[in-house]
Structure 1
Amino acid sequence: MLFFRRKRLFIILIGFIILVGSIGFSLRDREELTTVEEFLHDAVGWFQGVVHQPVEFTTTLVSNINELKHIYEENQVLKTRLSQYNLLLHEVKELRKENDELYSVLGKTESESLNEFIPIQASVIARSKEQWFKMITINKGEQDGVETNMAVITGEGMVGKIYSSSQFTSSVLLLNGFDRSNRISVVVDAEETDKDPTGFIVGYDEEAETLLLELDEYDVEVSEGELVVSSGLGGVFPKGLEIGTIEEVAPDKYGLTKVAHVSPSADLYNFGHVIVVDRQATIPSEVESEPEEGEE
């Protein structure tokens, strides 16, 4: 039993000596490696290369996936901000348009042409969807002094008349819905004649998008670009409301009268604020007091 213990101890001692000797031999300066060392060195290098490539590939793949995810998130944020920016641009554009329209209406309200009439400012709250029924609804009615047949204008010119009114809202028949039953007495501001030609707006040409002006006299001369305004005759519309300009003049199909195509001054399709022109004259600022009792 003791023999086996001594033998085991002796084997361990010999192995330790060989290990120390091998380490010392491998650590000394040599120009060449042994075959065993070369084999071990190459085997370890090959094994490290085999393990390193999948690890590097996996690391790169995970890094690329994370980068793509980050780019996708940034792209979503940029799309959201771009959508908000476009919405803001649209709101700014609409506000500028409404601001310009309000300035135009305000300037028309304060103009000298309306000094003899009471302007009632209103906003459009609805538009008829039926194309053959050219009407809009405004937010002013009888409570605000609006009555049937009152003229309706914008800062650019006349757009229609009050078709019907209730207590708080009114319906407006636009010029592109006018016919002979809703005609307007007008006068042409002609430069080449001493007497301004007169006539009636009797309809609307849908294809040319122009008003049809039937002149009272056949031999009267009107030219392109001349201004057409309301004449004030008939007691429906006040005098001097701008309607449009002459585009062309031609005889009617029977050759009895001349019909002029008038381009409306106001945009009949795109506006949000209007002025209802009250035909009642404004009260003068200075009114003579009634004579006291006993005075003539």
Structure 2
Amino acid sequence: MPRFFSNKKLIVLLTGLIVLVALIGYSLKDREDATVAEQFLHDTVGFFQRMFHTPAQYVAGFFETIDDIQNVYKENELLKSRLKDYAEVRTKYNQLKKDNDELRDQLDMGEHSKLSGYNQQLGTVIARPFDEWNQLLTINIGGQSGVHKGMAVKTSEGLVGRVTTVSQFTSVVSLITDPLSINQIPAAINGKKDINGMIEGYNSKQNVLLFKKLPVESNIKKGMEVITSGMGGVYPKSVYIGKVVSVNTESNGLSQTAKVKPAADFSNINYVHVLDRLAKSSKKEAKEDES
């Protein structure tokens, strides 16, 4: 037998190639049905495609989800930062509005004071000791601004105290809410006929001033307004102090004591007016004219 045909491996290879070409040619023909071999081949390929495609989809979706989460996180952080900026701007706006309203009240009271017997200067509270919160505060005007010891001090709401210490550029104000204060404030209940008395002391638990030495026959009722009487030479007349909340007859039966709630908000004092009685100013001017 020739040597060529004795090589069995070569014969098998050539036979396989012939069969493969025949199958390819057969499969290229226009046919409605696939052969069993083609069906088996297609099903096998489809199985492996499904087996690898599904995990690939899960992996791709997982990374897309992570990317989406990162984007949402970044957007969330951006919105939080903008929200913080908004809150800060809102806080600044509220504070400026509050300051503006307070200054407007101070200016309105300034115009009114010209008719009430005193001049006044606007001052800003620059210090208030925590351990003496109801006793003292410091303002930013002093002797250089014409402030002197004994001047009455008020806010746009009502009387708060008087100047007790004066430096060139600052002053210390003793508050009427000082429970240890021995300051006496000549006051009157405002009505058709004023009822005069003396404010002597402060009850910190009830937040009321003690308005004493009121005539026992006086018909004093809750809600009546209390103002300075102008007597005593320290406090100008008609400075608003507060309202009566209750009244009791003293044990001796000779006078009454009223409890007065201050009109000023002592927990939040930012601006004050230092009052200079016009009567004192007129006396000074008269002495200057004589000299």
TM, length-normalised to structure 2: 0.86
Residue identity matched to 1:263: K
Residues in 2 aligned to 1:283 and 1:147: alpha-carbon distance in whole angstroms: 12
Other structure's SS at 2:45 match: helix
Residues in 2 aligned to 1:84 and 1:253: alpha-carbon distance in whole angstroms: 62
Aligned residues: percent identity? 38
Residues in 2 aligned to 1:233 and 1:204: alpha-carbon distance in whole angstroms: 20
Q: CA deviation at 1:117?
A: 2.5
Residue identity matched to 1:24: G
- Aligned equivalent of 1:269, options 262, 267, 270: 267
Runs of 5+ consecutive residues of structure 1 not aligned to the other structure: 292-296
Q: CA deviation at 1:11?
A: 7.4
1:217-263 CA distance string (max 9 Å, x none)? 22222122221111111111111111111111112466553111112
Residues in 2 aligned to 1:16 and 1:202: alpha-carbon distance in whole angstroms: 125
Gap change, CA 1:81 and 1:253, over 3 Å in 2:
farther
Q: CA deviation at 1:34?
A: 2.8
Other structure's SS at 1:269 match: coil
Q: CA deviation at 1:264?
A: 1.4
Other structure's SS at 1:225 match: coil
Kept in 2, the 8 Å contact 1:118–1:282? The answer is no
**Number of matched pairs:** 285
Match of 1:167 in 2: 168
Gap change, CA 1:252 and 1:62, over 3 Å in 2:
farther
Gap change, CA 1:282 and 1:80, over 3 Å in 2:
farther
Match of 1:88 in 2: 89
Match of 1:45 in 2: 46
Kept in 2, the 8 Å contact 1:104–1:154? The answer is no
Is 1:200 aligned with 2:201?
no
Kept in 2, the 8 Å contact 1:211–1:262? The answer is yes
Residues in 2 aligned to 1:184 and 1:283: alpha-carbon distance in whole angstroms: 21
- Aligned equivalent of 1:220, options 218, 221, 232: 218
Residues in 2 aligned to 1:133 and 1:159: alpha-carbon distance in whole angstroms: 10
Gap change, CA 1:227 and 1:113, over 3 Å in 2:
farther
TM, length-normalised to structure 1: 0.85
Q: CA deviation at 1:216?
A: 3.4
Alignment of 1:56-205 (within 5 A): 56-113=57-114, 116-130=117-131, 133-177=134-178, 181-191=182-192, 195-205=193-203
Q: CA deviation at 1:32?
A: 3.4
Kept in 1, the 8 Å contact 2:117–2:237? The answer is no
Other structure's SS at 2:234 match: coil
Q: CA deviation at 1:82?
A: 1.0
Residue identity matched to 1:240: S
Residue identity matched to 1:164: T
Residues in 2 aligned to 1:229 and 1:203: alpha-carbon distance in whole angstroms: 16
Match of 1:294 in 2: none
1:136-162 CA distance string (max 9 Å, x none)? 111111111111221111111111111
CA RMSD of aligned residues (A): 3.0
Gap change, CA 1:53 and 1:131, over 3 Å in 2:
farther
Gap change, CA 1:70 and 1:180, over 3 Å in 2:
closer
Task: Pick which of 83-92 and 57-66 moved more.
Answer: 83-92
Gap change, CA 1:84 and 1:259, over 3 Å in 2:
same
Gap change, CA 1:138 and 1:275, over 3 Å in 2:
same
Q: CA deviation at 1:55?
A: 0.8
